[in-house]
Structure 1
Amino acid sequence: MSCPAMAQLLSNTLYYKRFFPYYTFNILGGLDSDGKGCVYTYDAVGSYERVRYSAQGTGAGLIIPVLDNQLKSPSPLLLPAKDDVTPLSETEAIDLVKDVFASATERDIYTGDKVEIVVINASGIRQELMELRKD
């Protein structure tokens, strides 16, 4: 199943159960038919949008500004034209995820105690757990 098809299926599932028990805010990521990364963000009742990156939950208000600062180009008017999102290597992306969650954890009491990072690439699946709270 393609990622855009899965995005529609998740939207339908959330809308069908919009009051109970699936009142959740989701993020879906994968590859589209061109082999490019795609991220879909959802509201609680299933409306969705394809975006370049996203965050959900109580820490999202703290995480998104950091991601904007690190990933967006400073201006769409810069010449020569640049992609609107800075490409990152796998290591840089993982480090950025760790940094934004560590930062959000320090300021948001509802952000959890751990972050689970799952990397899926051609060599397989790798899972990494990072402790957030030390107190």
Structure 2
Amino acid sequence: MRRGATTKLLGIQSHFFFPVMRGETVTSASIFNPHEYIGGTLVAIAGNDFATIACDTRLTNDFNIRKMRSQSKLFDVSPQTVLGSVGCWCDTLALLSLVRSFSLKYELDNLMPVCPDSLASMLTRTKLTRQYFVSTVVTGIDSNGLGAVYFNDPIGNYLRLPYHISGTGGRIILPTLNWFEGNEEDHMNAITTSLTVDKTVQISMEAFRAARDCDSFTGN
């Protein structure tokens, strides 16, 4: 006899089967799930010739705090590229190892540091062939000298966006960015013409102030 089960994490449903002995009762607590969602929030904003990305530093499992104010979710990949990741922490570390190797090989082959465009493309190819239960945001300066923000979801889709919020605090933070209004072209025009570094830093700080009181995964 086999008992079926379905799990859902980061919007992905996984179906699997496991044997059930005669007379055995299976509960949800007896199902092993190797992917642990540790929460967290990322806010990335692209400017005309710069990009900013901010994160919280708390690792949690439900309401159990593993580390507080000590673990960044941002990783320097090259002088012009930063990777942010939220989701399953062990998958984040495994993916980061691949990113480090790719960055080194890219620099040796092209005699230049990896740019956000190339890293986002690499993450898409990797996630299409392997399951990593993380959402990643790549920020930095692209090959044309413009600020760039790329979002990669857990199944490999990616978009270039003027700004992006990932993680558990996204729904709380989004109203803070309501001044981005209009259609897609207006978004890009607002980003490239009116933002300064100081303004984006201020926006990011206000966003996390809004999230810290309502989202236990983000904290203070």
Which TM bucket (shorter chain)? 0.5 to 0.7
**Distance of 1:12 and 1:63 partners within structure 2:** 30
Find out whether 1:97 has 2:204 as its counterpart. Answer: yes
| Unaligned residue ranges in structure 2 (runs of 5+) | 1-113
Give the structure-2-normalised TM-score: 0.42
Question: Higher strand fraction: Structure 1 or Structure 2?
Answer: 2
1:43-97 Cα offsets, whole Å, 9 max, x none, are: 1112101110001111011112322x13x2x445xxxxx9243632212211111
* More relative contact order, 1 or 2 (CA 8 Å, 6+ apart): 2
CA contact (8 A) 1:54 1:64 kept: no
User: In the TM superposition, what are the counterparts of 1:55-70 in structure 2 within 5 Å?
Assistant: 55-67=165-177, 69-70=178-179
Structure 1 residue 3 displacement after superposition: 1.7
Which residue in 2 is equivalent to 1:79?
A: none
CA contact (8 A) 2:115 2:143 kept: yes
Largest Rg, 1 or 2: 2
Q: What letter is aligned with 1:5?
A: S
Give the counterpart of 1:83 among 184, 189, 201: 189
**Distance of 2:182 and 2:157 partners within structure 1:** 29
Give the structure-1-normalised TM-score: 0.66
Q: SS in structure 2 opposite 1:54? A: strand
**Distance of 1:36 and 1:23 partners within structure 2:** 29
Q: SS in structure 1 opposite 2:149? A: strand
| Unaligned residue ranges in structure 1 (runs of 5+) | 77-81, 114-131
CA contact (8 A) 1:59 1:104 kept: yes
How many pairs were matched up?
102
CA contact (8 A) 1:40 1:50 kept: yes
CA contact (8 A) 2:151 2:160 kept: yes
Structure 1 residues 75, 13: closer, same or farther in 2, change over 3 A? closer
Q: What letter is aligned with 1:101?
A: F
Q: What is the root-mean-square deviation in Å for CA atoms of aligned residues?
A: 1.9
User: In the TM superposition, what are the counterparts of 1:10-29 in structure 2 within 5 Å?
Assistant: 10-18=123-131, 22-29=132-139
CA contact (8 A) 1:14 1:23 kept: no
